[in-house]
Structure 1
Amino acid sequence: MQMADLGDIRLHYRIDGPEDGAPLVFANSLGTDLRVWDKVVARLPAGLRILRYDKRGHGLSDAPEGPYSMGTLVRDAERLMELTGFREAMFVGLSIGGMIAQGLAAKRLDLVRALVLSNTACKIGTREIWADRVAQVKEGGVAALAEGTMQRWFAPGFRGTAEAAGWRHMLERTPKAGYIGCCEAIAGTDFMTPTSGLRLPALGIAGSEDGSTPPDMVRETLELIPGSDFKLIRNAGHIPCVEKPDEYAAALSAFLAAQGHGL
């Protein structure tokens, strides 16, 4: 178990792969921890150096009381990459992790060589939607959102599986302060202007059944970045890396190869 002490926060992280491998960073979604990438990492080409972490308020990282800002979440990723020596990395961000990716790329092009924006957008939802979600969590805990979240996260065929039950348990055990803090960070974020100024290789990934960031929302964000690519994974919801790891890993591997990153 590896913990990064960044002064004001301690983040749990994991590094896999050789020290001289091409750097690849993963940032996960709201209500999940770094295990969301397990099946994809196992399917990627050998020789990559892979950093995964639990953002503040999630997994084994500290969960301070909020509110959190997106700038703080971006700064956490920035400091963790500096601490662990990850530079010129391909950064893969899922949902809120994709917002972190956009903010980091706009701020530190020395750290981010290419972007994969998965099931995300430059702006997600409205302040009213996030305020309602925060109110529900304050009243009933994260478990109050579980049923609706499962419907957005996974396609119908996956929801009844034993594995889906495990992901639901993970969601329900997310610290209340961390979940609320990240909701507030999303609510206050609109990256349309900085993302439209990005000039780096970018791939968008969407799930056809995603109830949180539908494919058109993901596509519209990628269209802000000239020359970007887009991949639709069918019969998958908001977390296709869990439901369709073979297709997800294949899309990442093809993008890695196209950029000559580690291959």
Structure 2
Amino acid sequence: MKIADLGDIKLHYRVDGDPEGAPVVFANSLGTDLRLWDQVIDLLPKQGLRYIRYDKRGHGLSECTPAPYAMGTLVRDVERLMDHLDLRDVIFVGLSIGGMIAQGLAAKRLDLVRAMVLSNTGAKIATREMWAERIAGVEAGGIEALADSVMQRWFSDTFRKTDGFHAWRNMLVRQPAEGYIGCSHAISGTDFMTPTSGLRLPTLGIAGSEDGSTPPDLVRETVDLIPGSQFHLIRGAGHLPCVEKPEEYARVLLEFIEAQAH
């Protein structure tokens, strides 16, 4: 296990693949840790590409600081992690809040990002009122109080009948409530419509047809802000298609990476 001491925060990260390969950075969703990408990375080439994953503030094995968090803080965390690891010219893959972090990082430090994948995300996700209700629910009853409704948005009916489903529910409820609340505040306060519309870099949008958190139309609307962007719909998957359909996810991701001559 690797820990980057960035001064005010210690972040857990992991590096797989070719140590000398071109870098691909992954940022995961609210309520998950870097294991979100296990199945996809297992299917990607072991030579030529280096895969860097990390647990964002308040999640996984990274430090959990007091809520609330600003989106700018989460962007700065990964910016400093990339500087710490001397990463430049990366392909950045972000899912849900990870996709918002990707947009914020590209707008702030385009020297760090060669291309990005915006998976199951939006320039703006839901409303302040919805996030206020969710935060209040976690403050009152912990993440467990929301877990079943979150699982319905995350996964298709078919996947919720599998044994593997229970591991993802456990991952959600075992995240620190303070970290979940902190990142919920960050999403609530973010609207990247204007900065994202000013971006000019290769972009792929990935959506799941059964996604109850960031429906396909939201993902398409977001990537359409960026001229020349691409969009791929994974049918039969919910908010985490890298879990439900890892083979298709890995294939589409690799095609995009190779198209960038990365």
- How many pairs are equivalent? 261
**Structure 1 residue 221: Cα displacement:** 0.3
Amino acid at match of 1:146: A
Counterpart CA distance in 2 for 1:19 and 1:127 is 42
- Counterpart residue number, 1:148: 149
Letter in 2 for 1:22: A
1:18 aligns with 2:36: no
Separation in structure 2 between the aligned mates of residue 92 and residue 250 of structure 1, nearest angstrom: 14
1:19 deviates by: 2.7
Q: Distance in 2 between matches of 1:33 and 1:138?
A: 21
Distance in 1 separating the partners of 2:93 and 2:30:
15
Question: Where in structure 2 are the equivalents of 1:203-242 lying within 5 Å?
Answer: 203-242=204-243
**Counterpart residue identity of residue 50, structure 2:** R
| Counterpart for residue 251 of structure 1 | 252
3-state SS, counterpart of residue 158 of structure 2:
helix
Amino acid at match of 1:106: A
State the TM-score, normalized to the length of structure 2. 0.99
Identity of aligned residues (%): 70
- What residue number does 1:71 align with? 72
Shift of residue 177 of structure 1?
Answer: 0.5
Take 1:39 and 1:151, find their aligned partners in 2: how far apart are those partners?
21
Matched AA of 2:20: D
User: In terms of mean alpha carbon deviation, does 134-143 or 13-22 score higher?
Assistant: 13-22
Instruction: In structure 2, list runs of 5 or more residues that go unmatched.
Output: none
Residue equivalent to 2:104: 103
Distance in 1, Cα, partners of 2:197 & 2:238: 26
Distance 1:99 1:35 in 2: 19
Q: Tell me the SS of whatever aligns to 2:43.
A: coil
2:118 aligned with 1:117, yes or no? Answer: yes
Match in the other structure for 1:169: 170
- The Cα offsets for residues 66-98 of structure 1, whole Å up to 9 and x where unpaired, read as 110000000000000111121100000000000
Distance apart, 1:17 and its partner CA: 2.1
Question: Within 5 A, what are the aligned runs for 1:160-199?
Answer: 160-199=161-200
- Two-structure CA RMSD over aligned residues (Å): 0.6
C-alpha distance in structure 2 between counterparts of 1:199 and 1:154, whole Å: 32
Corresponding letter in the other structure for 1:61:
S
Whether the 8 Å CA contact 2:17–2:45 is kept in 1: the answer is no
Give the whole-Å Cα distance in 2 for the aligned partners of 1:43 and 1:22. 17
Q: What TM-score do the two structures reach when normalised by structure 1?
A: 0.98
